[in-house]
Chain A
Amino acid sequence: MSDVLVMVGTRKGAFFYRSDRNRRSWRVEGPLFKGWEVGYLQLDTRREPTLYAGVGSYVYGPTIQISRDRGKTWSQAEQGPRYAADAGRNVERIWCIEPGPAERPERLYAGVAQAGLFVSDDGGEHWQEVMGLSEHPSRAAWAPGAGGLCCHRVLVDPHTPGRLWVGISAVGVLRSDDDGASWKVCNEGVPIAAPEKDFPEIGSCVHALVQAPDRPGRLYQQNHRGVFRSEDAGDHWQRIENGLPSEFGFPMVLDPNDSQTLYVVPLESDEYRLTPGGKLTVYRSRDGGDSWSPLRHGLPAELCHTAVLRHALDADPLDPCGLYLGTTGGHLFHSPDGGETWSALPGELPRIQSVRAVLVDEGW
């Protein structure tokens, strides 16, 4: 794997940025899916490399598109995520598409709005609802956040077979230890944004959820009400906000080479949801969230009143990792050195919904 592919999903299409591992010169391709909202892009390399796109339209609804030829051609999943006709809810958007466990290379998960989880066991062509989550006793009490009632994150635990987490706004984190059959609410220590009478543990608005792959049980989350860490697979959460200007923000990513290093992009409060002071600033922690420092060299220092959505920040796996940040104003910024220095990548794009950075073979 010698090249970097950065897949950018926007309100009106997707754009692919490609570079060699020096990450100095970029080629841009797009728009793919012109006119369609692209909420998420994913590369699964567990078998023949396969690209997945969560694509949708206000008019025509969502679907999953699949490419097995490096993005040259795409085909719609034969039976994309859909609720049963009598379920009383619709799949309105594909929020994430995640490869399943390494030992099940044909399995994928998709988190959707209205909130639910779907699973495919044939490489993404056919999807079934994970009924254990849909039939959770608290389901009727789930309420949407400003972005809708969305299951926006699925994590597969590489250490514990059958263990999954989902992040749902504005419900919280739920964990399954039995392959999705049953789910435990994991919101202890996190403020409940909208308490519900019968299920007081429900109503935490998780914005981003990541796991430390080399530290079993360690999770981080950027929440509507703060930044948190768990050492026990989500059973308990502690605040980790020392040095941050705001507890509010959306994305959070880990350095793929160092699970103590993570990045967030704080915004000014849930009322304003804008970059504080018009300065676009990424914050980095190198001690697992105990402390945070600003990174803004090369980022707009004034008149940058924008936001970064929950899937619009990603890190590539090179060392030092490259970072890629897309704004709601359609600008894409890149750091080749773990956030020390930044520059704008070419293009003024539609509202950026998602950014995914992966390594691919030369010539992809």
Chain B
Amino acid sequence: MEPAAESVVVRVLLPSLLRACTGGRAEVSVAATTFAGAVERLVSEHPALRGHLFDDAGKLREHVSLFLNDEDSRWLDSWQRPLVKGDVLTVIQAVSGG
């Protein structure tokens, strides 16, 4: 059995509308081994965020995008992507145009 990967602390950047969920902070950090783990840590440590990122069925809201660095999470082969030092997770609203 392989040893468990070590947690990596990553930065999470938040849009202004959601900053009330993090005590007004535009940036927080979470420790996890994978992208999925980082998202779960984010909503566990800041539970007010959960309902704004995920719908009642637990699915990522249609107009919310989570980026791992410059990759949209919808493009990732797996949310189990291991994290590496320096990774940045960004929450943005996926609405463009008028």
Chain A residues within CB distance 8 Å of chain B:
35-36, 57-61, 63, 74, 76, 78, 80, 82-91
Contact = CB atoms under 8 A, between A and B. Distances in A.
10 contacts: A35-B16, A35-B17, A58-B63, A63-B48, A63-B52, A76-B20, A83-B56, A86-B57, A89-B56, A91-B56
A313 B47 CA distance: 35
A59 B91 CA distance: 12
Contacts of A59: 17, 61, 63-64, 93-95
A266 B24 CA distance: 43
Contacts of B16: 35
Interface of B: 16-18, 20-21, 47-48, 51-53, 55-58, 61, 63-64, 93-95
Contacts of A36: 17
A76 B20 CA distance: 9
Given A60-B17, A84-B56, A85-B56, 6 more contacts: A59-B61, A60-B52, A78-B47, A82-B51, A85-B57, A90-B57
Given A59-B61, A61-B61, A63-B51, A82 B18 contact: no
Contacts of A83: 56
A168 to B, nearest CB: 18
Contacts of B63: 58-59
Nearest to B21: A76
Contacts of B17: 35-36, 57, 59-60
Contacts of A61: 51-52, 55, 61
Contacts of A91: 56
A43 to B, nearest CB: 21
Contacts of B94: 59
Contacts of B55: 61, 90
B42 to A, nearest CB: 14
Contacts of B47: 78
Does more than half of chain A's interface fall in helix, strand or loop, or is it mixed?
loop
Contact of A60 (B18, B56, B58): B18
Contacts of A78: 47
A80 B51 contact: yes
A22 to B, nearest CB: 36
A57 B48 CA distance: 14
Contacts of B21: 76
A89 B56 CA distance: 7
Query: What 3 pairs between A and B have smallest CB-CB spacing?
Result: A60-B52, A59-B63, A59-B93
A60 B57 contact: no
A117 to B, nearest CB: 15
A74 to B, nearest CB: 8
A57 B93 CA distance: 11
Contacts of B53: 60
Contacts of A89: 56
A57 to B, nearest CB: 7
B57 to A, nearest CB: 5
Contacts of B95: 58-59
Nearest to A88: B57
A16 to B, nearest CB: 18
Contact of B61 (A60, A63, A80): A60
Given A59-B61, A60-B18, A61-B61, A76 B48 contact: yes
Contacts of B51: 61, 63, 80, 82
Contact of B64 (A60, A87, A90): A60
B82 to A, nearest CB: 27
A83 to B, nearest CB: 4
A51 to B, nearest CB: 15
Nearest to B92: A59
A214 B12 CA distance: 55
Contacts of A58: 63, 95
A134 to B, nearest CB: 12
Contact of A90 (B18, B48, B52, B56): B56
Nearest to B61: A61
Contacts of B64: 59-60
Nearest to B63: A59
A88 B57 CA distance: 7
A59 B58 CA distance: 15
A84 B53 CA distance: 16
B84 to A, nearest CB: 29
